[in-house]
């Protein structure tokens, strides 16, 4: 269940189909990517996609961060949801790589979420969140 | 020396707050140890056999007197009055109380230091050449690039949950003093047609599957430094194995794909991300380079050193290297007293080195991957006074790169992963070999207390690996490794030994070497020329 959402548009109701299912089906608008599946296969269909849900089977499995960034770098602007073993300590990195909704298996403490997302005022790298890296702040 | 600006300081300070909060939640019982573990491991805090161990980052092994004094202060106030310098150019404290971990990080932050990413499956402390900025043979100073990597890799949002840990080393000369071919990524600064760039090695490493890295790019233009690293890490993050912890390092991916195919995938990924503005601008490189400008060297200094004190003369011959500026020298402080613990230094010794660095080395200190320290810029005229200052603190061991200059991991005396003790083996070997060590000359002995190879036994001219054999400590002997530019992997020569037995075996190997060597041959040269058989025969009869 979606617990955190950083978007103003209406949530997508339809459940995400599997990647193979999505590629076989011309009208689906939501897809679920399992860890290890290649999100680049979605790139020809970004226009009709409204939701990509990326599975985190365990928080230690970081493949989803690359998947998210690849989609955002390719221009995907729909909802990008992290689902599964999503813990408060990973939220900041997930936001930075382009996730804008979260369906954690275990409920998150809202105060801890607030702290985690506002802890760091600046960042060292360009990612998918539009934040300028520190070198940009230093040199304009 | 790099100095933090307000951005760097704010990031490190925020990390201290975050970790204090995590420790408080553990102490209050809100976190179980299982929940706390991944969090503390992101910050170099391990639970070892007897206590918490804290690993503090010393980025590219460079620090100043103020930072050294803080390391001494931490050893005195929070630990048992000593610290342990590691093969990754870091320092570890072995007897840390969880309640005090936040205070230690705050103390470190006050001198622009931290323990960020000194453990966990992320990009670890960047290592480099301990002679950077001083070596006569360097194309360029690797430290600005290492600092750029430090910043880029700190809290990298995409690469903080990699399949496994990830180690990067950067050097600036053909002589490899940082074992770059045994790193996940090894980078060598090179020049091509007047342009600076990097030779890129990938997939080296030790551990249970030792592999020498493959060169996947002969010349990476320096302006694309970060984007190319990003491409390598992305390919690894997506395709590195996650089904088996022992096959999760990038070296396995590179081996399974083949270096050529891996390089092709990196190039393809690189083309995708090159337009995204990931590379830092020239202005940022220049800003960082400004911090590493040469210190105000004097000109016209004499190159003569008065060697009339014979003990001093021995130390100069063994521990002093040529500097790129006339009248200066590079002095290595050996942390390998015979009978001591390799890499350990007391608070008083750490403070003494801080004093001497301030007085004689433009306030600069380096840590080496062989667990020694370096004063990189010493006037030759000051070498004698420096040596006297070291001698008074039991720091004038004249054994650099000799048999008693042994790399050893903490082993079963401290480490929860170890199968056997390393320290007593190092001590026994040093005591046995020190009286005869000047004759063979350069001899690199490296000891690990388990297959994880923190003591670099694969890269030892003579390597020793401690294993558990039916509940008994047993030591395997390996010969022929090198972590230098002529990198090679040592091979096990036969059945293992007891602790006493392995000392005897090394003695026999060296005896055979003395019979076989030609003039000027090091042990490694002789081994490479004659092969393992004569040594096997000497050891096993």
Residue B233 within a domain: yes
B-chain residue closest to A65, CA distance:
B158
Look up the CATH number of the domain holding residue B173. 3.30.413.10
B280 and B329 together in one domain: no
Residue B116 within a domain: no
CA-based nearest residue to B374, from B358, B355, B357: B357
Supply the range of the domain harboring residue B434.
407-540
B98 and B175 together in one domain: no
B481 and B349 together in one domain: no
| Structural domain total, chain B | 4
Residues of B whose CB is below 8 A from A121: 10, 14
Q: What ipTM goes with this model?
A: 0.98
A11 and chain B in contact, CB less than 8 A: no
CA-based nearest residue to B214, from B235, B240, B241, B184: B184
B153 and B279 together in one domain: yes
B281 and B153 together in one domain: yes
CB atoms near residue B82 (< 10 Å): 19
B269 and B314 together in one domain: no
CB atoms near residue B130 (< 10 Å): 25
CA-based nearest residue to B92, from B113, B109, B115, B110: B115
Taking the alpha carbons at both ends of chain A, their separation in whole angstroms is: 41
Q: What is the pLDDT along chain B (541 residues), one digit of tens a residue?
A: 999 999 999 999 999 999 999 999 999 998 899 889 988 988 999 998 889 999 999 999 999 999 999 999 999 999 999 999 999 999 999 999 999 999 999 999 999 999 999 999 999 999 999 999 999 889 999 999 999 999 999 999 999 999 999 999 999 999 999 999 999 999 999 999 999 999 999 999 999 999 999 999 999 999 999 999 999 999 999 999 999 999 999 999 999 999 999 999 999 999 999 999 999 999 999 999 999 999 999 999 999 999 999 999 999 999 999 999 999 999 999 999 999 999 999 999 999 999 999 999 999 999 999 999 999 999 999 999 999 999 999 999 999 999 999 999 999 999 999 999 999 999 999 999 999 999 999 999 999 999 999 999 999 999 999 999 999 999 999 999 999 999 999 999 999 999 999 999 999 999 999 999 999 999 999 999 999 999 999 999 8
- Contact state of B283 with A139 under an 8 Å Cβ cutoff: yes
Residue B164 within a domain: yes
CA-based nearest residue to B63, from B83, B46, B43: B83
Domain boundary among B77, B109, B141: B109
- Contact state of B155 with A59 under an 8 Å Cβ cutoff: no
Residue B396 within a domain: no
Residue B194 within a domain: yes
Residue B361 within a domain: yes
Cα dihedral B26→B31→B34→B37 (10° resolution): -40
Query: Tokens for A123?
Result: 């960042």
Residue B472 within a domain: yes
Domain boundary among B53, B78, B109: B109
CB atoms near residue B224 (< 10 Å): 17
Measured between CA atoms, how close is A114 to chain B, in angstroms? 13
Domain boundary among B360, B391, B422: B391
B212 and B279 together in one domain: yes
- Contact state of A89 with B14 under an 8 Å Cβ cutoff: no
B266 and B139 together in one domain: yes
Residue B400 within a domain: no
**Cα Dmax for chain A:** 48
What is the 3-state secondary structure of B25-72? HHHCCCCCHHHHHHHHHCCCEEECCCCEEEEEECHHHEECHHHHHHHH
B95 and B208 together in one domain: no
Q: Which CATH class is domain A4-139?
A: alpha beta
3-state secondary structure of B489: coil
Measured between CA atoms, how close is B286 to chain A, in angstroms? 11
Among A62, A119, A137, beta carbon nearest to B18: A119
B323 and B443 together in one domain: no
B286 and B314 together in one domain: no
- Contact state of B38 with A135 under an 8 Å Cβ cutoff: no
B186 and B258 together in one domain: yes
């Amino acid at each position: 269940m979606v617990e955190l959402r950083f978007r103003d548009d209406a949530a997508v109701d339809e459940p995400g189909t599997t990647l193979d299912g999505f590629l076989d089906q011309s009208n689906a608008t939501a897809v679920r990517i399992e860890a290890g599946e290649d999100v680049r296969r979605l790139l020809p269909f970004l226009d009709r996609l409204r939701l990509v849900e990326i599975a985190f089977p365990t928080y230690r499995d970081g493949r989803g961060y690359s998947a998210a960034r690849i989609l955002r770098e390719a221009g995907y602007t729909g909802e990008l949801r992290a689902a599964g073993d999503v813990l408060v300590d990973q939220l900041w990195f997930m936001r930075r790589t382009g996730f804008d909704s979260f369906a954690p298996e275990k409920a998150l403490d809202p105060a801890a979420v607030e702290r985690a997302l506002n802890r760091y005022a600046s960042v060292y790298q360009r990612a998918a969140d539009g934040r300028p890296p520190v070198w940009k702040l230093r040199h304009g | 020396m790099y100095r933090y600006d307000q951005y760097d300081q704010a990031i490190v300070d925020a990390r201290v707050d975050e970790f204090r909060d995590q420790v408080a939640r553990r102490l209050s019982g809100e976190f179980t140890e299982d929940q706390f573990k991944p969090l503390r491991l992101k910050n170099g805090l391990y639970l070892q056999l007897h206590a918490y161990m804290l690993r503090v980052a010393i980025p590219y092994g460079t620090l100043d007197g103020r930072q050294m004094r803080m390391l001494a202060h931490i050893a005195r106030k929070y630990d048992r009055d000593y610290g342990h310098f590691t093969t990754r150019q870091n320092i570890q404290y072995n007897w840390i109380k969880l309640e005090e971990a936040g205070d230690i990080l705050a103390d470190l932050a006050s001198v622009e230091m931290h323990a960020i990413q000194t453990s966990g499956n992320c990009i670890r402390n960047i290592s480099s050449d301990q002679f950077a900025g001083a070596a006569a043979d360097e194309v360029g100073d690797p430290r600005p690039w290492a600092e750029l990597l430090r910043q880029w890799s700190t809290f990298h949002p995409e690469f903080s949950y990699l399949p496994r840990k990830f180690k990067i080393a950067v050097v600036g000369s053909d002589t490899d003093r940082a074992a770059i071919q045994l790193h996940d990524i090894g980078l060598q600064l090179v020049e091509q047609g007047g342009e600076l760039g990097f030779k890129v090695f990938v997939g080296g490493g030790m551990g249970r599957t030792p592999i020498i890295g493959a060169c996947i790019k002969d010349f990476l233009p320096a302006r694309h430094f970060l984007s190319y690293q990003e491409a390598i890490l992305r390919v690894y993050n997506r395709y590195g194995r996650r089904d088996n912890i022992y096959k999760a390092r990038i070296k396995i991916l590179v081996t399974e794909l083949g270096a050529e195919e891996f390089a092709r995938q990196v190039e393809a990924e690189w083309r995708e991300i090159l337009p995204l503005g990931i590379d830092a601008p020239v202005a940022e490189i220049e800003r960082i380079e400004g911090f590493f400008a040469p210190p105000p060297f004097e000109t016209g200094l004499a190159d003569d050193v008065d060697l009339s004190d014979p003990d001093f003369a021995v130390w100069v011959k063994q521990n002093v290297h040529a500097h790129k500026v006339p009248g200066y020298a590079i002095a290595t402080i050996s942390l390998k007293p015979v009978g001591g613990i390799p890499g350990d230094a007391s608070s008083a010794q750490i403070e003494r080195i801080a004093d001497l660095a301030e007085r004689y080395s433009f306030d600069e200190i380096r840590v080496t991957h062989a667990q020694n320290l370096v004063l990189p810029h010493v006037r030759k005229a000051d070498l004698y006074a420096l040596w006297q200052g070291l001698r008074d603190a039991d720091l004038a061991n004249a054994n650099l790169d000799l048999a008693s200059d042994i790399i050893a991991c903490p082993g079963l005396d401290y480490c929860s992963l170890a199968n056997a003790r390393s320290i007593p083996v190092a001590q026994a070997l040093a005591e046995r070999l020190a009286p005869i060590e000047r004759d063979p000359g350069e001899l690199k002995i490296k000891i690990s207390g388990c297959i994880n190879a923190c003591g670099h036994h694969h890269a030892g001219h003579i390597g020793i690996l401690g294993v558990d054999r039916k509940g008994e400590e047993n030591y395997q002997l390996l010969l022929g490794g090198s972590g230098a530019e002529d990198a090679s992997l040592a091979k096990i020569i036969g059945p293992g030994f007891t602790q006493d037995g392995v000392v005897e075996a090394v003695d026999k190997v060296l005896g055979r070497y003395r019979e076989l060597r030609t003039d000027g041959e090091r042990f490694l040269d002789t081994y490479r020329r004659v092969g393992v058989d004569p040594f096997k025969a000497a050891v096993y009869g």
